[in-house]
């Protein structure tokens, strides 16, 4: 357990250092190029990627590092093995370009297909979320002491639903029609998951495509806070899948909630 605590602390510091590199570019303006999948890429993505790949390899030399910006990711030849780091060096590049401050650094350690620890750092907000299996989840604002966070019990007649600003699919709209007076929150990047983890929201359904690096750190934080991140079959989302692509995902704070009923036969 002490090793896990120490490792999580080290990863939090690496996320902060990557965030500093991102903010240097954020304040000075960033040119954007476009990848083959039409997603944006900036010098901030690349600076964070270069720093984290090198640093994580030094931290655990025998553990592979898989980043969104890795060359072997783009050509589909990732060999994840049993344990590997899964990194999104700048999650929410569109938010970065719009200047909303809602972008993050995501780092997760995957073991046997499940996230063992996860760190999310929002550098423009000086806000860190982190969690580890069997150790709980925490939120730290700036230099203030970290506070433990947990999910909340769901009240089916008053559910708060997190929706993406840019990616709302048809399944989300259909689910909202089935709910009684749902309250909506909107947030960018992986911070959407964190709203569920800290008990400010109940559900985050994502039915449009995501990649594993989008969700791994967040899943660990949600699970360690008492919630769950599931694929449509009701099983926890797994990692190291061929192509590293996720199915639709449902994040819930209260794992007793019958969420499959909300999306059944839609």
Nearest to 95 by CA among 42, 138, 136, 59: 42
91 and 106 Cβ atoms separated by less than 8 Å: yes
Tell me what the mean pLDDT of segment 187-204 comes to: 96
Judged against a pLDDT cut of 80, whether residue 117 lies above it is answered with yes
CA distances from 182 to 138, 172, 185, 200, 211 (A): 27, 12, 10, 13, 27
> 23-32, 88-97, 241-250: which range is least confident on average?
23-32
Residue 212: how many CB atoms within 10 A of its CB?
Answer: 26
Q: How confident is the model at residue 77 (pLDDT cuts 50, 70, 90)?
A: very low
Six-digit token string for 50: 């270069």
176 and 252 Cβ atoms separated by less than 8 Å: no
Judged against a pLDDT cut of 80, whether residue 80 lies above it is answered with no
The residue whose two tokens read 């594993």 is 212
Helices 2-28 and 43-59: crossing angle in degrees, nearest 10, is 160
Q: How confident is the model at residue 260 (pLDDT cuts 50, 70, 90)?
A: very high
What is the distance between the alpha carbons of residues 170 and 189, in angstroms, rounded to a whole number?
20
Q: Give the residue ranges of DSSP H helices in the chain.
A: 2-28, 43-59, 71-74, 93-98, 170-178, 191-197, 212-224, 260-263
**pLDDT (tens digit per residue) in 14-72:** 999 999 999 999 988 766 676 766 677 788 999 999 999 999 999 999 999 999 988 76
44 and 30 Cβ atoms separated by less than 8 Å: yes
Judged against a pLDDT cut of 80, whether residue 217 lies above it is answered with yes
Q: Which domains does the chain have, with CATH numbers?
A: 2-149 (3.30.540.10), 160-263 (3.40.190.80)
pTM here?
0.93
Q: Which helix (H) or strand (E) holds 252?
A: strand 249-252
Residue 36, phi then psi, degrees to nearest 5: -60, -30
């Amino acid at each position: 357990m002490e090793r896990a605590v120490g490792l999580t602390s080290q990863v939090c510091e690496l996320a902060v250092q990557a965030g500093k590199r991102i903010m240097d570019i954020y304040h000075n303006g960033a040119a954007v190029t476009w990848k083959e999948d039409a997603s944006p890429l900036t010098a901030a993505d690349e600076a964070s990627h270069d720093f984290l790949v090198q640093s994580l390899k030094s931290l655990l030399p025998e553990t592979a590092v898989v980043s969104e910006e890795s060359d072997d990711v783009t050509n589909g030849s990732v060999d994840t093995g049993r344990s590997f780091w899964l990194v999104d060096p700048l999650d929410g590049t569109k938010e970065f370009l719009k200047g909303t401050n809602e972008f993050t650094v995501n780092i997760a350690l995957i073991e046997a297909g499940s996230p063992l620890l996860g760190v999310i750092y929002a550098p423009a907000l000086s806000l860190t979320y982190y969690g580890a299996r069997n150790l709980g989840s925490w939120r730290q604002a700036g230099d203030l002491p970290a506070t433990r966070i947990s999910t909340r019990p769901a009240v089916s007649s008053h559910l708060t639903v997190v929706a993406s600003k840019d990616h709302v699919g048809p399944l989300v709209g259909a689910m909202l029609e089935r709910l009684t007076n749902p309250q909506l929150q909107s947030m960018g990047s992986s911070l959407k998951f964190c709203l569920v983890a800290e008990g400010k929201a109940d559900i985050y359904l994502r039915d449009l495509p995501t990649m594993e690096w989008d969700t791994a750190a967040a899943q660990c934080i949600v699970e360690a806070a008492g919630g769950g991140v599931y694929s449509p079959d009701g099983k926890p989302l797994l990692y190291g899948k061929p192509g590293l692509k996720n199915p639709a995902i449902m994040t819930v704070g209260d794992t007793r909630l019958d969420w499959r009923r909300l999306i059944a036969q839609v």
